[in-house]
Copies of this chain bind each other. A is one copy, B any other.
Amino acid sequence: MRLRLTPRDDSYYEMFADSANNLVIGARLLAELIGDGGDRDAIGEKMRACEHAGDERTHAIMRRLNGRSATPFDREDIYKLASSLDDVMDAMDAAVDLIGLYRLERLPKGIIDQVEVLERAAELTAEAMPRLRTMKDLARYWIEINQLENQADQIYRRLLAHLFDGGYDALTVMKLKDVVEELEAAADAFEHVANTVETIAVKKS
């Protein structure tokens, strides 16, 4: 039998893993929406449910954090990790929302590339969160996320140039730019998650 000396702290790991798993679901819904053009309303509703579930998880982490019981990492790092995971979801949800709100039918190919990067980043993040418990094997996670973010940046810049290349009227450019910027914000937020994991790992080392 293994004695748990700090049973209450353990659940932080589970809450972070949960939050990240929820991002995998969100990223897949996003891919579905911009992919073969499934039922947009149904996907939009699932995304909203996904975002609410994410909110619940974030609040649960914050509540526990305010409860002042012992924490496995510095409180400020737990706060940052939870906030950044939440930021990813908010940005992906906003992108889905805007695509519906603006009734965007034809999306430029580059947006599919953006979303593929987000899907991969979500999977890597979900795989990494449980490793916070042992602190093993995390470096390759944050290195890969940084590479993905660089890739996302390239795609984003190409998309911006493409939007202004004369193929779209000004109002359409404004709409697409809003969507593209939310997706870029999601990629940035994945990097913030990885940076915080790196900070936590460095402090523990």
Contacts and interface: CB of A to CB of B under 8 A. Distances in A.
A175 B165 CA distance: 12
Interface string A55-76: 0000000110011100000000
A145 B43 CA distance: 29
How many copies of this chain sit in the oligomeric assembly? 3
A203 B171 contact: no
Interface residues of A, number: 22
Given A164-B171, A171-B170, A174-B174, A199 B101 contact: no
25 contacts: A62-B199, A63-B202, A66-B199, A66-B202, A66-B203, A67-B202, A68-B203, A97-B157, A101-B157, A101-B160, A101-B161, A102-B160, A102-B161, A102-B164, A164-B171, A164-B174, A164-B175, A169-B170, A170-B170, A170-B171, A170-B174, A171-B173, A173-B174, A174-B174, A174-B177
Interface of A: 62-63, 66-68, 97, 101-102, 157, 160-161, 164, 169-171, 173-175, 177, 199, 202-203
